[in-house]
Chain A
Amino acid sequence: MTAESKLLTMRDAIARHVPSGSMVLLGAQLEQMIPFAAGHELIRQSRRDLTLVGPISDILFDQLMGAGCVSRVMAAWVGNVSAGVGYCFRRAVERSIPRRLEVVDYSNFTMALALHAGALGVPFLPTYATLGSDLLKKNGNLREFSSPVSEEKLIAVRALRPDVAILHVQRSDAHGNAHIWGSLGVAVDGARAARKVIVVAEEIVEPSVIASDPNRTLIPGFLVAAVVHEPGGAHPSPVQGYYGRDHAFFAEYHEQTRRLEDFEDWLARWVVQTTDRGDYWKQLGTGRVEKLAVKEHAFSAPADFGY
């Protein structure tokens, strides 16, 4: 482990490591641990021409598209998991509002394979998934080929190497050695496929805490460029053991972004005029925050690493 701390504020981490034009992996753990705080900072710092990568995206992708930060999205599902469609996504695809958006449609499996190929350092991985579908016809990163070892057709899923993966985690040490548990999705491959990782942690702990349970260390610190301590940074998505999912927030977002002018109000209120996560948290109100708190802890049994 290096001795140097990688702790940065969210503002500095985004400023230093995510320039306009980057390919950014977000939402690797699907409905859990979506790095909303990081996404909002991308909007505040007016990033442009981002390529967003993720399996299902939920409303963070929708917000970034609505704010004009995105020129391309590579995903299996783009919308609002609670309500279905994402209105900003629809406006961008159907009417180029606020700007033209290129969509590269994947399935969940082919997205996971693209990142796994990136993590393994190979140019592609084979699968049967998407054979016969129109995804195959329209996504140039899915190519049919004849198996060299059996008499059959397969799809070659081209490797993806995002410039940055932003991963929200339960706990990390200051060097970025991070514990994640619960919903893993494509987080482990995502961290390895990406050229850089930004870890956003609920808690910063001593290296000895991380080393006490190395099976849970899903991101080794040497892959990590920056560590941001941002408790609550995944709201309204849940973090197992820290807070629940704010279902109402997703439903409200759906209602409050149907019309373009309403989305602009939403964005101003929750992102643009909000200076940082502390400010956002205040706006949310203590009542709402308390309701999301863990009601009953459920600790796992300790694993004995002794010898």
Chain B
Amino acid sequence: MTRAESNLAARGYSFAELMVAAAAREIAHGELVFVGMRLPMLAFLVARRTHAPGAVGLFENGVLRETPSAELLYTMGDPPNLRGATQCGAMLDVMGLLQQGRVDVGFLGAAEVDRFGNLNTTWGYRNKEMQRLPGSGGACDIACLARRTVVLLAHERARLCDRVGHITSPGFGTGEGWRRTQGLPAASGPSAIITTLGVLRFGHDGEAYLASVHPGVSVEEVLANTGWTLRVADELMETSPPSDEELRVMRELDPNHFWTR
């Protein structure tokens, strides 16, 4: 257990639970959300049950949902995710909403993210060997077209790198103005990177900065685990811990901590 992990354990919640709560707060009432799996799915459900009861969830298989599924999901195609859905359409139906600019926020994971929020889920580099990873799925589409993109990943120096080796899903490219040059929609792009140590946001120049550190985490620890010289906000915040209500909902949805160990 790292120092940060033991700090969190003493506070009565896990890293994953803190990340889920932070992710949930990225969703506003009434927003259309491209949900994905794992922690973001829980975040969507927590948001709906707490501050954003009007949020609507979209899944790449064509499912549109407004209520939590009756059982914990392991994949978006699990039968409980289809029963009680608002709509089961085709993939193009949800992708069309995304391209129209109607999707407010999309959640993504990544093997690597860089200082401009570009994501790589195609090639990994472990022990100097190239490792083929599964690829984009819908991540590239979401990164190109969602109004805001929120990335969740473990904070490791090798994974928060200066430049990703392969841009599977574009962030701000090389900085300010890049997305426009590429032809990407004006209202789109990375909004936050939620890690196990803190939350990064983006300046007008497209570069990430440290906006908040999680309780018990030092700025030095974040900087030491980031692969570029990370800027720190003038008014650095501490990430708000999950509220009792957020934890209650999360634990009700995932009682055995399958996603939130």
Residues of A within 8 A of B (CB): 29-32, 55-56, 75-79, 81-82, 84-86, 89-90, 93-94, 103, 105-110, 112-113, 116, 127-135, 144, 152-154, 181-189, 237-238, 240, 244-245, 247, 298
Q: Which residue of A29, A132, A182 contacts B173 across the interface (Cβ within 8 Å)? A: A132
Residues 54-89 of B contacting A (Cβ, < 8 Å): 60-63, 74-79, 82-83, 88-89
Give CA–CA (A55, B94) in the complex, Å. Answer: 14
Whether B255 is near chain A, meaning CB under 8 Å from some CB there, is no
Q: Which residue of A56, A90, A183, A186 contacts B82 across the interface (Cβ within 8 Å)? A: A183
Give CA–CA (A31, B79) in the complex, Å. Answer: 10
Q: A107-B139, A154-B183, A185-B91 are in contact. Are A245 and B144 (CB under 8 A)?
A: no
**Which residues from B are CB-within-8-Å of A128?**
99, 144-145, 183-185
Whether B137 is near chain A, meaning CB under 8 Å from some CB there, is yes
Interface range, B side: 35 or more
B184 and A131 within 8 A (CB): yes
Q: A112-B95, A131-B170, A131-B182 are in contact. Are A107 and B140 (CB under 8 A)?
A: yes
| Candidate in B62, B136, B185 with the most chain A CB atoms within 10 angstroms | B136
Give CA–CA (A26, B67) in the complex, Å. Answer: 30
Q: A79-B134, A105-B135 are in contact. Are A186 and B166 (CB under 8 A)?
A: no
A30 and B61 within 8 A (CB): yes
CB < 8 Å A-B pair total: 179
B130 and A108 within 8 A (CB): no
B168 and A134 within 8 A (CB): yes
Give CA–CA (A129, B145) in the complex, Å. Answer: 7
A107 and B141 within 8 A (CB): yes
Q: A76-B137, A85-B133, A90-B132 are in contact. Are A183 and B74 (CB under 8 A)?
A: no
B75 and A108 within 8 A (CB): no
A134 and B166 within 8 A (CB): yes
A-B contact pairs, 18 of them (CB 8 A): A29-B61, A31-B75, A55-B60, A55-B137, A76-B138, A85-B133, A107-B138, A108-B136, A112-B90, A128-B144, A133-B140, A133-B170, A134-B122, A183-B61, A184-B91, A189-B90, A189-B92, A240-B79
A84 and B134 within 8 A (CB): yes
Other A-B pairs, 13, CB within 8 Å; known A84-B134, A133-B140, A189-B90: A31-B76, A55-B91, A56-B137, A107-B136, A108-B91, A109-B92, A109-B99, A130-B141, A133-B169, A144-B183, A181-B88, A183-B61, A185-B61
Whether B6 is near chain A, meaning CB under 8 Å from some CB there, is no
**Which residues from B are CB-within-8-Å of A110?**
141
Q: Which residue of A84, A113, A129 contacts B144 across the interface (Cβ within 8 Å)? A: A129
CB distance from A181 to the nearest CB of B (A): 7
A186 and B167 within 8 A (CB): no
Give CA–CA (A23, B169) in the complex, Å. Answer: 27
Q: A184-B61, A184-B88, A185-B62 are in contact. Are A132 and B132 (CB under 8 A)?
A: no
Whether B229 is near chain A, meaning CB under 8 Å from some CB there, is no
**Which residues from A are CB-within-8-Å of B166?**
134
Q: A108-B141, A183-B77 are in contact. Are A31 and B92 (CB under 8 A)?
A: no
A186 and B77 within 8 A (CB): no
Give CA–CA (A55, B95) in the complex, Å. Answer: 13
Q: A133-B167, A134-B167, A186-B91 are in contact. Are A298 and B83 (CB under 8 A)?
A: yes
**Which residues from A are CB-within-8-Å of B136?**
76-77, 105-108, 133, 135
| Candidate in A29, A56, A89, A187 with the most chain B CB atoms within 10 angstroms | A56
What 7 A-B pairs come out closest when comparing CB atoms?
A31-B77, A153-B183, A79-B134, A132-B182, A132-B170, A77-B137, A107-B140
CB distance from A164 to the nearest CB of B (A): 20
| Candidate in B82, B90, B98, B143 with the most chain A CB atoms within 10 angstroms | B90
Give CA–CA (A154, B185) in the complex, Å. Answer: 11
CB distance from A46 to the nearest CB of B (A): 25
Give CA–CA (A78, B98) in the complex, Å. Answer: 23
Give CA–CA (A188, B169) in the complex, Å. Answer: 27
Give CA–CA (A152, B181) in the complex, Å. Answer: 10
A93 and B132 within 8 A (CB): yes
**Which residues from B are CB-within-8-Å of A152?**
183
**Which residues from A are CB-within-8-Å of B13?**
none
Q: Mark B175-198, 1 if CB is under 8 A from A, else 0.
A: 000110011110000000000000
Whether B131 is near chain A, meaning CB under 8 Å from some CB there, is yes
A131 and B122 within 8 A (CB): no
Give CA–CA (A154, B79) in the complex, Å. Answer: 37
A94 and B132 within 8 A (CB): yes
**Which residues from A are CB-within-8-Å of B98?**
109
Q: A129-B99, A245-B78 are in contact. Are A85 and B134 (CB under 8 A)?
A: yes
**Which residues from B are CB-within-8-Å of A244?**
78-79
Q: Which residue of B62, B138, B173, B183 contacts A183 across the interface (Cβ within 8 Å)? A: B62
Give CA–CA (A116, B184) in the complex, Å. Answer: 22
| Candidate in B132, B135, B166 with the most chain A CB atoms within 10 angstroms | B135
B183 and A108 within 8 A (CB): no
Name the residue of chain B whose CB is nearest to the CB of A155. Answer: B183
B134 and A77 within 8 A (CB): yes
Name the residue of chain B whose CB is nearest to the CB of A188. Answer: B90
**Which residues from B are CB-within-8-Å of A93?**
132
